[in-house]
Amino acid sequence: MRERDILPTWKRAFFARSFRERSRHIFSLRMKMSLNHPLVVPKKHIPDIYALDERTAAAIMVEAVIIARAVKRGLGCDGLNLVQANEPAAQQDVFHFHVHVKPRWRNDAVIFHWDTHPVSAEDLRVSMEKIQEALQ
């Protein structure tokens, strides 16, 4: 079975040929509509990061590092972003986990806006306690 047969028809419209296949868990794709913009995608359907198992997560990150190095060497970009979104509030619009490897150049006009307003020590403490509780 070819990897294009694994993808539903609506996804085939977004994805071009696979240019790397390293394991039975993941494959890397490049988008037709965005020049030099590879993706790292698990073969198994995983809707978001919350459903991602640790083994597949590790394989995806290893592949992302390999692809990032190839993007840097091959394109000579000034930097790159790894981008991944979960749920509509974070602008997830393809509900199959994937990581974008976005090459960047100085003054490329790509803007990622992060709310970087100062947080009080008390707010930080409360947030950290809630996260620590959820980890137990």
Model confidence, pTM: 0.73
Domain count for the chain, please give it: 1
| Full domain range(s) for residue 24 | 3-135
Distance of alpha carbon 96 from its chain centroid, rounded?
Answer: 10
pLDDT at 10: 38
Tell me whether residue 96 is exposed, middle or buried, using C-beta atoms within 10 angstroms of its C-beta: 0 to 12, 13 to 18, 19 or more: middle
71: domain CATH number? 3.30.428.10
Tell me the H-state helices in the chain. 3-6, 9-12, 54-75, 121-135
pLDDT at 97: 92
Overall average pLDDT of the 72-77 stretch: 90
Spatial separation of the C-alpha atoms in residues 61 and 80, rounded to whole Å: 15
Query: pLDDT-based confidence at 63, cuts 50/70/90?
Result: confident
